[in-house]
Structure 1
């Protein structure tokens, strides 16, 4: 038939350069030379591992220093209340939030490639750690039953023992997640960042903002709802908060709303008059100083029952080895935390890099995060990542490099060593900061769904086999009549 004859006449040819033995040997010789170690390549590797060696000698003092100082002060003051509050989300004493706001931030200055993100405590990671800590060290395990009541009671020894175990759980998670990130960075797994497309990044960060808002709502209202983690935790948390809405502490609510209004109003002023203001108004500093002073002067805790940070011991704890007996119990959770932590960091880093016209390395960000977490774990820190709210403040207040992050870590150092007791009256009603899978399933499962979908779509668009006529590419398949 005519159709059968047409099929028999079809021919295909492959159009590509002809390779000769001499050509292959020449290419092999060039590749061999490229693999040899030279001083130039060694310096390049050193700059790649320690990016600060490349940008610090070229630091434009006159153009950048003032902005970095203002940004570092603003970010540092945000580090303080967030570190203290997020430690409570991680179910550890507040001072460990300060440790987590110093060591990792200091280390990232040397190893990170992003100029604008703020490394440190983050609500979502703290919630994930707190869920594991409460699962392994529940309150019931440390209760002494009162013979006159069906409810358990605590004494100070029980609380100290519970907190000590929860700190060990958090430290074990941090070490494992840091080692996982470090290993992935060494194995060059940072390429997965190319699958974090702009829609995925924006959807994930928006979902993270929802989780952050949910985690802070109970402090804004001064209620004590049930903690939830995992799938549908946002919905359960909202239900629990509004179930306890009748117990709202009015003083805490007013304090939080005043902070929100001041910060939002100042942000609007800074955005509208940024060309006229010599430096942005650092309202974060002003809010913390004023709220701490008012809390202490008016005795908000004793008079109105407002939750405050409480005792902050001064000085550092000596380095200690994590409890290896907990590793098997927290390994799976540490993997999820390592992935979510890297995803948050590279997501925000890519947003700022695109805005300001520079590039970030996914591999080096993995290594930097891995070092921050693994080294920090020996100093009783819990897992850290990029904070959206602090990163936005660091960038919007004039920060240009990680000198701002270094200054913020020095501010935390000052509090730890000298003036930590001054922040004990600081109210926990801190400001609320600024979809579907991440919000409903939790960030770990939501990220898995989002990345899987992104990989499928990217592979479909870029790797699918295309049959075209008269192609003149390196290898082409054409139809011949």
Structure 2
């Protein structure tokens, strides 16, 4: 029996262990609890304040602009620039990324909104803005589609569907985002020209949208076009100056907020909406709206869209977070980022926001202006809150063409990704194919199905690569311990009577045929034997040893077993005395189960080492 004192100590120990586990779980779920108590105020606060205000100044116009992409009233963009940013401060692990509205995600959300609630079902702000006060009365089906998209986003995040992001290779992401940028620019042409056209989504939507704009190009509003063109030129010049003098400027020149302030002032002073029929933002209600629950009946219609949005959002978040973490010497937790992004979207969705992820342009601003922690993001969200609850009405005369200009100029960096094509052509044709397929499929089929096609193609390339393993015959480089491919290195020489076959792949049903054929081809195995039928004749020489190197794993089931058995019988018939497989332990165990190697093969490394040493001597 245990002594009462020992039992008490065990109970105390168990409570301490439980307490430690609970504390560890809390710190993991809410990372802010681990760094906020030790936050160095004197060292970090000033930098975070400057960074937060700078990021908030960029967050405001982008929130308004990307709301147009999402096909919702501008105030929803402000909501989406407040709630998710605030929540990420508590749950995120990156110190530098700026969560909020993002062009690609906003466009994908807009496609969902247009499909589930076409223009005829909800708002239609005319050139005079006379019905701007009614614009906020969005049809419930559109609003519910936005909410359900985020609910489904959260479900995929909690179910850890982020593993699919593994197949979002860099060429795939860059091809996809380049195509998305084309969709975004095409969608903004009507705002830049001041024409009214139907919004399209889905298959060939980009082509239909361009056709619709071209059919109305004679109706271009000259005032709208000139104002938008001026904004584009100004923003581009500011972008170039910020890039050229980034080491000398304490903070980047806030070109976007300057455009918003100046264009709003011009619009208000000259009454552009009434006098020149320039489309403006319209009514922006003051204050925050109460939470509302969605109608789950729309869930079946949104599964595909939600999956695509979740995967794109998560991949953008994690990739950018890892870039900043590597640069500044800290680590990010991919699983926690998945949870954080899901919570940001799930909780915020009840407060009239649309799906968000991190933005590259804002993240660069937050990092380059000296941001040290997510306190900068918190301050940026509070700046947006001030606008929402106090001065949102100031932006009501803001021309939509100015917002279109902001969106277009922000995408210049995306179009530079076309430079990947010549580089990939020189380095990897398969990676180039992934880039091109992702781009073409996303342009023609829409972003959701385009992403599906791109991921499927990427998976097929993985299968192709495993089906086509690289194999070679190795030779010894004199006076060294190196064995290299005899086709690539002239210094590598083969031993008489020995073939050293190397393959860098595992054997399974899909590549067993290719493996056997490659082995026969490389070894030049001749089925004819000498007259005494005891030794095979290869290149006029006797092969006494065949060494198969580099085999990591094999599956001897079904077709693959038949192929390997055929090879073994072939080797037996041609009387090659030793077939030594210098393989990893799993492959050796599988061969021994099938009685295809002797027990001595368990020490294949030693056998081969001794054999080569004897040859050297």
User: Quick check: TM above 0.5?
Assistant: yes
Q: Is 1:465 aligned to residue 506 of structure 2?
A: yes
Report the TM-score, using the length of structure 2 for normalisation: 0.62
Alignment equivalent of 2:104, drawn from 101, 119, 124 = 124
Report what 1:405 is aligned to. 377
More off after superposition, 403-412 vs 190-199: 190-199
- State the distance in 1 between where 2:320 and 2:393 align: 33
- State the distance in 2 between where 1:209 and 1:241 align: 17
Report the CA distance shift for 1:257/1:48 in structure 2 as closer, same or farther (over 3 A).
Answer: farther
SS in 1 for 2:99: strand
SS in 1 for 2:292: coil
- State the distance in 1 between where 2:354 and 2:293 align: 14
> 1:355-366 to 2 correspondence within 5 Å?
355-366=327-338
SS in 2 for 1:378: helix
SS in 1 for 2:280: coil
Report the CA distance shift for 1:132/1:207 in structure 2 as closer, same or farther (over 3 A).
Answer: closer
Tell me if the contact between 2:97 and 2:363 (Cα under 8 Å) persists in the aligned partners: yes
- State the distance in 2 between where 1:299 and 1:157 align: 17
Alignment equivalent of 1:176, drawn from 136, 152, 156 = 152
Report the CA distance shift for 1:295/1:159 in structure 2 as closer, same or farther (over 3 A).
Answer: closer
| 1:417 Cα offset (Å) | 0.8
Tell me if the contact between 1:205 and 1:344 (Cα under 8 Å) persists in the aligned partners: no
When the two chains are superposed, the root-mean-square deviation of aligned CA atoms in Å is 3.4
- State the distance in 2 between where 1:210 and 1:282 align: 25
- State the distance in 2 between where 1:363 and 1:382 align: 22
SS in 2 for 1:46: helix
> 1:303-322 to 2 correspondence within 5 Å?
303-322=275-294
Tell me if the contact between 2:76 and 2:352 (Cα under 8 Å) persists in the aligned partners: yes
Tell me if the contact between 2:251 and 2:368 (Cα under 8 Å) persists in the aligned partners: no
- State the distance in 1 between where 2:302 and 2:186 align: 25
- State the distance in 2 between where 1:140 and 1:160 align: 15
Q: Is 1:54 aligned to residue 34 of structure 2?
A: yes
| 1:112 Cα offset (Å) | 1.8
Larger Rg: 2
- State the distance in 2 between where 1:190 and 1:172 align: 19
- State the distance in 2 between where 1:158 and 1:282 align: 32
| 1:246 Cα offset (Å) | 2.2
Report the TM-score, using the length of structure 1 for normalisation: 0.78
Report what 2:78 is aligned to. 98
- State the distance in 1 between where 2:287 and 2:53 align: 21
SS in 2 for 1:310: coil
More off after superposition, 61-70 vs 262-271: 61-70
- State the distance in 2 between where 1:412 and 1:62 align: 25
5+ residue gaps, structure 2, are 1-15, 124-129, 412-438, 470-503, 508-547, 551-580, 589-600, 609-617
5+ residue gaps, structure 1, are 1-35, 144-153
Tell me if the contact between 2:260 and 2:398 (Cα under 8 Å) persists in the aligned partners: yes
Tell me if the contact between 1:196 and 1:347 (Cα under 8 Å) persists in the aligned partners: no
Q: Which of structures 1 and 2 has the larger relative contact order (alpha carbons within 8 angstroms, sep 6+)? A: 1
